[in-house]
């Protein structure tokens, strides 16, 4: 794992699976799934992302939890949470993957003169980060295949009256660093998720 030189906070995504339609006791039942987003304080000036889809993938295929675009400066979420998904009806079972499809992002970091350098993904509006852009932020394939969350034990089992998954998005490591003298930053999100007993 390569550590970034970019200081930042920790993005925590809490996935709360609550009792829903059916008893949720096994195959055939369903669970109401909610998703909350928060961020710890950090030194990055702006870290703005647009999430266009959140989905779970299991043996029976993909379940879309959200397909309405959500945009936010992650740093504004320090000390609070944003509800990304509320009570999505999900069939009970085991899911191997949780993915976030990120259509674009921009970051603003302090430069040596005390001003800001702004890096955006291709075609993304740099205005939320204080634009105009001074360089490129690369986010390989996250707009197509999505960002995969690494789950504890390799999978998430949604069953029973309540299940909570806490996902940590390490901003410090995730927004990379300038690649040589190219003026390009590379986004390599470090995201892990683990189940928490209610």
* Per-residue confidence (pLDDT) for residue 115, from 0 to 100: 87
Q: What is the spatial distance between Cα 193 and Cα 125, in angstroms, rounded to a whole number?
A: 30
Q: Which residues of 36-56 are buried (b: 16+ CB within 10 A; e: fewer)?
A: bbbbbebebbbbbbbbbbbbb
Give pLDDT tens digits for 50-99: 999 999 998 888 999 999 999 988 777 766 777 788 788 888 888 988 89
Q: What is the spatial distance between Cα 191 and Cα 95, in angstroms, rounded to a whole number?
A: 17
Q: Classify 172 as helix, strand or coil.
A: helix
Q: What is the spatial distance between Cα 31 and Cα 161, in angstroms, rounded to a whole number?
A: 8
Is the model's pLDDT at 20 over the cut of 50?
no
* Per-residue confidence (pLDDT) for residue 144, from 0 to 100: 82
Query: How far, rounded to the nearest angstrom, does the alpha carbon of residue 125 sit from its chain's CA centroid?
Result: 19
* Per-residue confidence (pLDDT) for residue 8, from 0 to 100: 42
Spatial CB neighbours of 188, under 8 Å, sequence gap ≥ 6: 2, 173, 174, 176
Give the Cβ contact number of residue 12 at 10 Å. 16
Give pLDDT tens digits for 97-119: 889 899 999 999 888 888 899 99
* Per-residue confidence (pLDDT) for residue 169, from 0 to 100: 67
């Amino acid at each position: 794992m390569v550590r970034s030189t970019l200081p930042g906070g920790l993005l925590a995504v809490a996935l709360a699976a609550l009792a829903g339609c059916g008893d949720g006791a096994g195959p055939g039942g369903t669970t109401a799934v909610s998703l909350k987003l928060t961020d710890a304080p950090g030194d990055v000036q702006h870290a703005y992302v647009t999430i266009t889809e959140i989905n779970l993938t299991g043996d029976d295929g993909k379940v879309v939890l959200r397909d309405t675009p959500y945009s936010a400066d992650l740093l504004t979420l320090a000390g609070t949470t944003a509800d990304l998904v509320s009570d999505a009806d999900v069939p009970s079972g085991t899911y191997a993957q949780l993915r976030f499809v990120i259509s674009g992002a921009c970051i603003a970091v302090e430069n040596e003169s005390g001003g800001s350098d702004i890096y955006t993904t291709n075609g993304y509006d740099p205005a939320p980060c204080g634009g105009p852009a001074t360089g490129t932020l690369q986010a390989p394939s996250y707009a197509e295949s999505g960002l995969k969350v690494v789950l504890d034990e390799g999978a998430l089992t949604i069953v029973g009256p309540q299940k909570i998954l806490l996902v940590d998005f390490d901003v410090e490591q995730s927004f990379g660093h300038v690649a040589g003298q190219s003026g390009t930053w590379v986004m390599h999100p470090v995201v892990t998720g683990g189940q928490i007993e209610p």
